[in-house]
Amino acid sequence: MFKKRFTKLFNLVSIILILQFNNSCSSIDKNDAVVEQRIEQRIVRLNEYITSIDFSLELIETSLKEGEIKNKVKDLKKIEAYGHITAMMAYEKYNEAVQIPKQELEAMLTGGDVSKLSSVVKTKEENQTILTTRLQERKELMQSEIETLQEIRQIGLAEYVARDMVSIPAGSFTMGSEFHETGMPVHKVTIKQFYLSKYEITEMLWYLVMGNPRSVVHEDYHDFALYYCSDCPIDVISWQHAKLFIEAINQMTNSDYRLPTEAEWEYACRSGGKEQEYCGGDDLETLGWFSKNYGNKDKTDPMLERFHAFPVGLKQPNSLGLYDMSGNVAEWVEDCWHANYQDAPTDGNAWAKENCQERVFRGGAYIFPDSYNSSSYREYGAKPNSTIFGFRLAKHK
């Protein structure tokens, strides 16, 4: 009797486990299909922009007259306006062949001042060279992204994300700083081994997971056509948006990604808790983008006027292999904001509190001065108010 009951119970449990496994697989398969669809849509769109850029380069090369430009544009209505606006902008300023509304010209400069164009660069030939170079660079970036998207098709999104997770060894360190009131009291913290993403979450990865090319906060400002940088970190992101991304990517990859805790972040920033002024050393110029080295400082290229982050991984990493921990975009962590470290956890866990309205962000940003990009500087926010807020992923063993 007992044997029969045990057999029935065993069979019932087996059926439940099989159903759960099948549901899990179905969910993963469905998400794979979603990612595949987004990859295909993005490749199609990138190819359209590449065609549009080729058209712009043709206009610059052949010096077409106004009527011929209009005919060309009419023939290529299906392609979005990116390349056409670019080419017309070139002719408005270089050949005076067409009249383009100033608003469109300003949009193409992505935050720059259109009045600077004529005074910054002196001759038509120089202008054409600069514009041609910038368009070719964007074309190459788009072609590179297509190659990356095709690679993700082959290896899968889960493998693509997992391979950039860096193992952070366990250890203890002295957290905080006597130079910042918010970093006191300095205290010893013990960190368990965990993983942290090598780079800040990029625009391309955001799109594949969330389905929109830029932040859901400022879609009007971050037009894909006018602001293309797939390797730039996603920005204008609230802490809540970061959590939504993590929920979505965990469902897609059947994983358990999360935000790092503040203690984990500082420990990893300082290359495993070393005494370092910035994340990886004492020379911020080589480690990160900040107020002294971002943008078009020498004013030689009007197309480089920028008020946004840089592509990830251009500066030197710290000794753990983590990039852009100082500067570029500020990074959300899991913790609630506390004005100082009095009674802070010493086990590396996130510091919570009831009715938490403000979350901690670390790492400074490209618009901040050097002291705000230090390894110990901490700040807080509730909602993003500029293009400086991003994040990176963490994970337990």
Question: What gap in Å lies between CA 65 and CA 393, rounded to an integer?
Answer: 51
Interacting residues of 341 by C-beta distance below 8 A, sequence separation 6+ = 175, 176, 182, 183, 184, 185, 186, 187
Residues 189-213, mean pLDDT to the nearest whole number: 93
Residue 251 has pLDDT above 90, yes or no: yes
Grade residue 201 by pLDDT with cuts at 50, 70 and 90: very high
The answer to whether 289 and 306 are in contact (CB under 8 A) is no
Residue 174 has pLDDT above 60, yes or no: yes
Residues 65-84, mean pLDDT to the nearest whole number: 44
- Could you write out the DSSP letters of every residue in 233-252? BP-S--HHHHHHHHHHHHHH
Per-residue tokens: 5? 């009951």
Residue 86 has pLDDT above 90, yes or no: no
Q: What pLDDT is attached to residue 124? A: 52
Tell me where in the chain the CATH 3.90.1580.10 domain(s) lie: 159-395
The answer to whether 63 and 96 are in contact (CB under 8 A) is no
Per residue in 378-395, pLDDT (tens digit) is 999 876 656 689 999 999
User: Residue 390 forms beta bridges with which residues?
Assistant: 331
Q: 50-59, 185-194, 230-239 — which is least confidently predicted?
A: 50-59
Question: What gap in Å lies between CA 53 and CA 61, rounded to an integer?
Answer: 12
Grade residue 63 by pLDDT with cuts at 50, 70 and 90: low
The answer to whether 314 and 321 are in contact (CB under 8 A) is no
Interacting residues of 235 by C-beta distance below 8 A, sequence separation 6+ = 215, 308, 309, 329, 384, 387, 388, 389, 390
Q: What pLDDT is attached to residue 118? A: 40
Q: What pLDDT is attached to residue 2? A: 45
Question: What gap in Å lies between CA 25 and CA 300, rounded to an integer?
Answer: 54
Answer whether CATH 3.90.1580.10 is correct for domain 159-395: yes
pTM of the complete model: 0.78
Give, as one character, the DSSP assignment of residue 260.
Answer: P
Q: What pLDDT is attached to residue 32? A: 80
Cα distances (angstroms) measured from residue 215 to each of 54, 207, 238, 245, 386? 28, 9, 9, 11, 11
Per residue in 32-59, pLDDT (tens digit) is 889 999 999 989 888 887 887 787 777 6
How many angstroms from the chain centroid is the CA of residue 132? 26
Q: What pLDDT is attached to residue 60? A: 65
Give, as one character, the DSSP assignment of residue 258.
Answer: B
Residues 190-195, mean pLDDT to the nearest whole number: 97
